[in-house]
Structure 1
Amino acid sequence: MTTRANVNGEHTTHPSHYQTSHYSSSSSSSASFKGCCCCLFLLFTFLALLLIAVVLVILLVIKPKKPQFDLQQVGVQYIIVTAPSDGPTSAYLSLNISMIFTAVNPNKVGIKYSSSGFYVMYKGVPLGKATVPSFYQPANSVRTVETRVSVDKVDVMQANALDLVKDATLNDRVELSVTGEVGAKIRIIEITSPRVQVSVDCTIVISPRKQSLTYKQCGVDGVSV
């Protein structure tokens, strides 16, 4: 900064050449930084739109289909129903069964299944839960997954207890439901699609006397064993 006297003897202050160039350099750097950020933003936006367009084109080409996940077989190790001697106001059910599910992937790409749980219930009362771990299924393939439910003396109370004792001792048929959902995601070039829910809703009938499965129904088709 320099000070000079004018013709009247008054002193005026003028910014030095260094300060002027400093202000100009700062303004230029700020404009350059803003321009760089704008270019990066536009580049990332373009790449994101390009990726979305590629995925959409691939989806239109392969036409993904919903996978199938069904209860194929049920093996009965044992089923035991006991009631207190003072009257069936409650009943206890012990159960050990194995279940084999069949996963069908009709797509041209692989599917990633998340860990899932299936509930075994009697008249809406949960008895136990079977867990299927997560797994990957290749394209156009069929895979079997086995799981097991084992419960010990589950207390079924009140009206359901009366029905359970009657079903086990008189009718020799205990009807159970197996329900749950499987989360599946289609994988395309290391990119996973949004989660798709595959529901499982089956009815199985077990004979306590024979200790075996006598009926299985999933969806609309029933199979007698």
Structure 2
Amino acid sequence: METQSNTKPMTPPPRRWKRLRIVCLAVIALIVVLVLVMVILGLTVFKAKRPLTTVNSVALKDFDVSVDIARLRVNLNVSLDVNLSVKNPNKVGFKYTNSTAVLKYRGQVVGEAPIPASKISADQTSTMNLTLTLLADRLISNGNVYSDVISGTLPLSTFTRISGKVNILSIIKIHVVSYTSCDLSINVLNRSVASQTCHYKTKL
């Protein structure tokens, strides 16, 4: 015959229960304070700012041109040295992925140069030198080249897109993209950059 146990579950003494309650409340309050501090820092001191890409200079490295009047064709060899700087105004580092600088002729991509992935420390500026070489075979079917060279002005443009992330307090990751484009006019006779207009855009 089974006997029923009258043993009641043990409960902490009132004082011990009170201490446990105080400890739990203190831990919760500490967590709330830490979260509030992190949010405030994230919105003020560590607020994500947009890295700025600037084209410091564009210069002709090589420029060789020959005109075949009989065939109405032009043979071009063009290389540009582009000096870029990327400024990170954030209080934390900015990491960007592999990218590419592009050389265009009337909207057509005619040359490329890689931009290797890297990291820019807080409040630092990174400078990079790129060489963009025009690939002549991409212009064979473009009928505007001959007329542009004969007129004495060759329009080119450069475009870069640098994409990366800003890590705030190692918890919040904000994606940032910086765009740079420059419109160039190459003086065929002087073999120099006659004019340069650059546009910059960044977004979070």
Would you tell me which structure has more helix in proportion to its own residues?
1
Q: How many residues align?
A: 169
1:170 has 2:151 as partner: yes
SS in 2 for 1:219: strand
Structure 2: runs of 5 or more not aligned: 1-30
Distance 1:73 1:154 in 2: 27
Q: In 1, are the aligned partners of 2:111 and 2:135 still within 8 Å (CA)?
A: no
Higher mean alpha-carbon deviation, 93-102 vs 149-158, is at 149-158
Report the CA distance between 1:129 and its aligned residue: 0.5
Q: Which amino acid aligns with 2:81?
A: S
**Which residue matches 1:102?**
85
Q: 1:77-96 to 2 correspondence within 5 Å?
A: 77-88=61-72, 91-96=74-79
1:114 has 2:97 as partner: yes
SS in 2 for 1:210: coil
CA 1:206–1:58 in 2, change beyond 3 Å: closer, same or farther? same
Distance 1:135 1:53 in 2: 32
- Cα RMSD of the aligned pairs, angstroms, is 2.9
Distance 2:58 2:118 in 1: 21
Report the CA distance between 1:168 and its aligned residue: 2.0
Q: In 1, are the aligned partners of 2:167 and 2:174 still within 8 Å (CA)?
A: no
**Which residue matches 2:185?**
205
Structure 1: runs of 5 or more not aligned: 1-48, 221-225
CA 1:209–1:140 in 2, change beyond 3 Å: closer, same or farther? same
1:74 has 2:58 as partner: yes
Report the CA distance between 1:188 and its aligned residue: 3.1
Report the CA distance between 1:152 and its aligned residue: 4.6
Please report the TM-score for the alignment, with normalisation by the length of structure 1. Answer: 0.64
**Which residue matches 1:40?**
none
Q: 1:1-225 to 2 correspondence within 5 Å?
A: 56-62=39-45, 63-88=47-72, 91-157=74-140, 160-161=142-143, 163-171=144-152, 173-191=153-171, 193-219=173-199
SS in 2 for 1:154: helix
Please report the TM-score for the alignment, with normalisation by the length of structure 2. Answer: 0.70
Q: In 1, are the aligned partners of 2:48 and 2:174 still within 8 Å (CA)?
A: no
> Identity over aligned residues, as a percent?
22
CA 1:91–1:106 in 2, change beyond 3 Å: closer, same or farther? same
Report the CA distance between 1:155 and its aligned residue: 4.0
Q: Which amino acid aligns with 1:99?
A: V
SS in 2 for 1:166: helix
